[in-house]
Structure 1
Amino acid sequence: MATEKTRPGGRTERTRLAVLQATLDELAERGYAALTVEAVAERAGIHKTTLYRRWRNAEGLVAEALLLGTEQDWKAPDTGTLEGDLASLTRELVHWFTNPAVSALPTASVSAGFQSEQAADALRVFYADRHERCVDIVARAVDRGEAPDGTDPVDVVRAACAPIFYRLFVSREPVTDAIADAVARSTAIAVKAGAY
């Protein structure tokens, strides 16, 4: 299970976090294509030469900023059932991608992954971290008899989340908590049947 990563403190760390947060704010507000080092520097209150020296360009800034999520103390849900855990997970996706108060950043992050290989690499690392943190969901399901031994936890998480992402980014259909619950239910049934 991944743990919160530790970084050196002090002024350097405060500067890093200010710059990366400014990058995320710019990404959410302007999108990847319009994001500039100058705008991030101005928002962070840091001279642009510092940013160029450390991150080289906007692509480098976005790539590192997208990895901030791996430093957060996020834990996989533990509701007492596999279906409940998967529903909690898929409902969280629905919240982050459909709530107007927070959806700009995750949507822009996915978009950045299609425009920048560095951003795509960062997203792969971010989601690998989330997959690792979800391993216990399946381990607990195996212990409760809801999943057979050998069930692949990453495949289960992908199976639960994929229909949400499909609706969000491919078919552009509405996504609701009811859809999240239905996906969780069907995934849990497939897991119990040994599909993963």
Structure 2
Amino acid sequence: MVAIQHEQRVIKPNPLAELLANSETGNGDRKWRKDITEADFTPALILTPALKHSALLFYTQTAKVRYDPTIAADATSRFETPSNVKRTDQTYPFSVMIQNKFYKILEEHQRKGQQHTGTLEEVTLAVVFAERTLNTSVARGEFKLYCWPIIERDGIWMRRSYMNTVVSLDMWKILSQKSWELICMI
């Protein structure tokens, strides 16, 4: 990682794990590791040695969010992307693309123990990288987190869509059901 010259100052990069571990996550969970060994491999990688060379393994923080699968917006082109897919503020709602549809993540769906009409589904968001906002005067210096919607099958994680969901670090802090995970993708 290299420092970036911006206007009259130099911005030093922050490692993602340290950025997430130093943030107030609300549950005191600061368990993360820098190193991955073969002992961490999932059974699928151990049983199929050829997959080891193409696997992407990394530790990151994940958050489970709930959405109503009956309320969706189709995404037939990139011009139909909801504006709240890439949020830099600390407010709901924001959208997540799952397969070829966008679903709104609403604050009332995240509250535990509350009765919801219909059946809510969960999706896991995994933080992949962060970027510090430099251009907009409103959020200058704030961090944006780029997240992949993912699902786990037999120890292997798969992306639920090709599109990232972008949320601010402040928004990430208020999400519940966060944990550190070893992500293994093929």
TM-score by length of 1: 0.23
Larger proportion of helix: 1
Rg larger for: 1
Larger proportion of strand: 2
RCO (CA 8 Å, sep 6+): is it higher in 1 or 2?
2
TM-score by length of 2: 0.23
